[in-house]
């Protein structure tokens, strides 16, 4: 794995994103103290924030570049040595925008899962979470992973074997943003309270078998779906 090359690419992108985000940060510093004063409402703030973000994206959107870098990074992460994976995780710890982009990449992968054959987006999403290694906050990682898990199972994929496989590639040390190692978090994810909350927030699941009132078993209740690794 070309860890040093990825580290250099991500460093350049972090600097680009910092410059790109500065007008937005200037707006935040100026406008946040004004909320609920002199008729300036939270709705006004959100409208203006959305407008400046859209304007910046129209001028120069850094999103596609980092998606490309992270996609290649995740692809190589799977076949990397344990030492290379550790250096890969270390390469993002001091890059706030990259850490945020990794969790955004998990959500982006979830959005691309549409049906039972869409395993392609599932694994990179898990690998991105493994690379991010709860460097920001384990609650953010849990929410992103719950969205990925629920999207997969509702598309007819049993995500549990894939979570366990990436768990074996992940760090066994307590992360900076939490207490539970990511390897353990992924391995035990079916029992995670955040997953149950995510399922509940998206409506009844599993659906009932028509005419019986009985629930269709989840993939992880059936002992794995055919063809799952």
Q: Could you report the per-residue pLDDT of 114-124, keeping only the tens digit for each?
A: 999 999 999 99
pLDDT tens-digit readout, 124-143: 999 999 999 999 899 999 99
Q: Are 191 and 211 in contact (CB under 8 A)?
A: no
- Most distant CA pair in the chain, distance: 62
Site of tokens 């939490």: 178
pLDDT value at residue 215: 45
Collapse the DSSP code of 91 into the 3-class scheme (helix H, G, I; strand E, B; otherwise coil) and give the result: coil
Of 126, 204, 114, the closest CA to residue 155 belongs to 114
pLDDT value at residue 218: 52
For residues 229 and 227, give the distance between their C-alpha atoms in angstroms, rounded to a whole number: 6
pLDDT value at residue 207: 57
Mean pLDDT across the stretch 18-36?
A: 98
Contacts of 12 (CB under 8 A, 6+ apart): none
Contacts of 121 (CB under 8 A, 6+ apart): 109, 110, 112, 113
pLDDT value at residue 155: 95
pLDDT value at residue 226: 33
pLDDT tens-digit readout, 76-108: 998 999 999 999 999 999 999 999 999 999 999
Q: Is the pLDDT of residue 213 over 90?
A: no
- Mean per-residue pLDDT over the chain, rounded: 90
Residue 129, Cβ density class (10 Å: 0-12 exposed, 13-18 middle, ≥19 buried): buried
The pair of three-digit structure tokens given for residue 125, joined into one six-digit string? 């999403």
Bond from prior residue into 217 cis (ω within 30 degrees of 0): no
Q: How many CB atoms lie within 10 A of CB 18?
A: 14
> Which pTM was predicted?
0.84
pLDDT value at residue 9: 97
CA distances from 6 to 86, 131, 139 (A): 13, 12, 26
pLDDT value at residue 1: 76
pLDDT value at residue 212: 41
For residues 31 and 45, give the distance between their C-alpha atoms in angstroms, rounded to a whole number: 7
The pair of three-digit structure tokens given for residue 19, joined into one six-digit string? 């410059």
For residues 222 and 214, give the distance between their C-alpha atoms in angstroms, rounded to a whole number: 15
Q: Is the pLDDT of residue 178 over 90?
A: yes
pLDDT value at residue 17: 98
pLDDT value at residue 204: 76
135-149 burial, b at 16+ Cβ within 10 Å, e below that, comes to: bbebebbbbbbbbbb
């Amino acid at each position: 794995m070309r860890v040093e090359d990825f580290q250099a690419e991500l460093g350049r992108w972090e600097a680009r994103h910092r410059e790109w985000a500065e007008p937005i940060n200037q707006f935040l510093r100026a406008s946040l103290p004004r909320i609920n004063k002199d008729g300036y409402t939270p709705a006004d703030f959100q409208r203006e924030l959305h407008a400046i973000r859209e304007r910046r994206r129209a001028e120069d959107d850094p999103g596609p570049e980092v998606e490309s870098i992270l996609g290649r990074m995740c692809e190589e992460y799977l076949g990397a040595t344990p030492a290379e994976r550790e250096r890969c995780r270390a390469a993002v710890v001091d890059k706030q925008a990259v850490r945020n982009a990794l969790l955004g990449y998990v959500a982006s992968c979830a959005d691309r899962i549409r049906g039972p054959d869409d395993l392609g987006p599932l694994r990179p999403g898990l690998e991105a979470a493994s690379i991010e290694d709860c460097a920001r906050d384990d609650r953010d990682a849990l929410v992103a992973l719950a969205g990925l898990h629920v999207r997969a199972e509702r598309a007819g994929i049993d995500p549990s074997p894939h979570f366990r496989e990436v768990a074996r590639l992940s760090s066994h040390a307590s992360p900076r943003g939490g207490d539970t190692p990511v390897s353990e978090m992924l391995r035990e994810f079916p029992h995670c309270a955040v997953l149950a909350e995510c399922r509940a927030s998206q409506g009844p699941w599993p659906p009932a078998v028509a005419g019986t009132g009985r629930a269709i078993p989840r993939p992880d209740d059936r002992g794995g779906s055919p063809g799952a690794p």
